[in-house]
Structure 1
């Protein structure tokens, strides 16, 4: 599969910090640029208000960010050798299994992920799948759900994580000559929607307790998994 085919795949991304779904068919470059502005806005307007910078950096620094960079780097090295449909199917099945486990078998916990190694593995997976099939959200949702992050920390850390990872992805696609003026203009058109979505997400988040928030995340993850399987 070449880069052009990879960049044209349909995708659905759960937008954690705005409580909405986005359906669109767009080049990977537009996705990166739009998401970068989206997560930048989230990080500035929400994250830093609710979590001390030191705490967030302590959570992300040792494992999450290095893992994402490794995943993105590996993705660009193997992009011509990966069958995106097969990878999408695998991600979809994982989403379905994990969400059903959380919804039906809550007594079973994934303690193996609650450490630096778990964070590193899931962030590598996120960087890899985000670059190849625009599905970097599920691994991070699974990891944050497994360690039981509170809603504010969940959203704040996810927003900052994807913002930083997308900067790294943007450097990669620019180096590959995949970023064009048309794509930049298309991405800029989505910025107002990102601001509105962030505002709505913040308002919704303040009304949810931790248990309800995680339950909603698992139902969304289940729907995402089904969508990935059916549209591979």
Structure 2
């Protein structure tokens, strides 16, 4: 049962603002931290149901500032792979219980941090040459799957797009376009599977201003704030929430 207590808003409002900043300013890679945070205090299905309409609102708010600044070849292959990935995610969700979803969200959270730190420290190298365009197909499948079950499609798409050596703004615009389309593709299955409820939609009405504020801040932060400072905070949040979700799932 979702209760609109002060404690709920104390957690949900900052989480939604953070998602807006990440999606609109820093390539969506860490926007799923908001779902991870909400899943600590809510059943994962309710957390996912609340976040999808808000993420879609951020998508719409972010499209105009980056309009036609994306790279269509990379977007096309990611979206082609994302379609079967979303279908696989729907199948997994129908099979999984709350603890399985908590475990997956927690594992993706910690895996994202481990991957980013490995790249930063030189333990993993993307290679001197850009990744082939065909690499977007498997990246899209993984992005579609993880996006459906945890709103965490950003990390696999980021690996591909960073490997393509896109500049900062082209990379950001491409993620905005890709996840605008993926989130639309998720909406209908979410509706049929009962993930949306009257309570989650009411929560969305309350939290919509926070999503728009986050999107507005994110577009400006894209040009003003260093990625290093933003992701340092992100890694800390994801490490704590990922560990907590895995612990809750196992015990």
TM-based fold match above 0.5: yes
1:152 corresponding residue in structure 2? 169
1:123 has 2:170 as partner: no
Is the 1:95–1:221 contact (alpha carbons within 8 Å) kept by the matching residues of 2? no
Unaligned runs of 5+ in 2: 1-10, 247-251
Q: Where in structure 2 are the equivalents of 1:156-171 lying within 5 Å?
A: 156-171=173-188
Unaligned runs of 5+ in 1: 1-9
Worse-superposed segment, 21-30 or 182-191: 21-30
Distance 2:78 2:186 in 1: 15
Q: Can you list the C-alpha shifts for 1:74-122, whole angstroms capped at 9, x where unaligned? A: 1111224343344335424432332122211188325798223322222
Greater fraction helix: 2
Is the 1:102–1:218 contact (alpha carbons within 8 Å) kept by the matching residues of 2? no
Is the 2:130–2:165 contact (alpha carbons within 8 Å) kept by the matching residues of 1? no
Is the 1:67–1:127 contact (alpha carbons within 8 Å) kept by the matching residues of 2? yes
User: What's the RMSD between the two structures over aligned residues?
Assistant: 3.2
Q: Where in structure 2 are the equivalents of 1:29-178 lying within 5 Å?
A: 29-44=49-64, 46-48=65-67, 51=69, 56-61=71-76, 63-82=77-96, 83-105=100-122, 108-110=125-127, 114-178=131-195
Number of aligned residue pairs: 213
Distance 2:150 2:72 in 1: 27
Q: Can you list the C-alpha shifts for 1:44-93, whole angstroms capped at 9, x where unaligned? A: 2x111x61xxx5433312x1112222111111112243433443354244
Worse-superposed segment, 141-150 or 34-43: 141-150
Give the TM-score normalised by the residue count of structure 1.
Answer: 0.75
Is the 1:65–1:165 contact (alpha carbons within 8 Å) kept by the matching residues of 2? yes
- CA drift of 1:156 comes to 1.5
Label 1:71 to 1:223 Cα distance change in 2 as closer, same or farther (>3 A): farther
- CA drift of 1:130 comes to 1.9
Label 1:27 to 1:95 Cα distance change in 2 as closer, same or farther (>3 A): closer
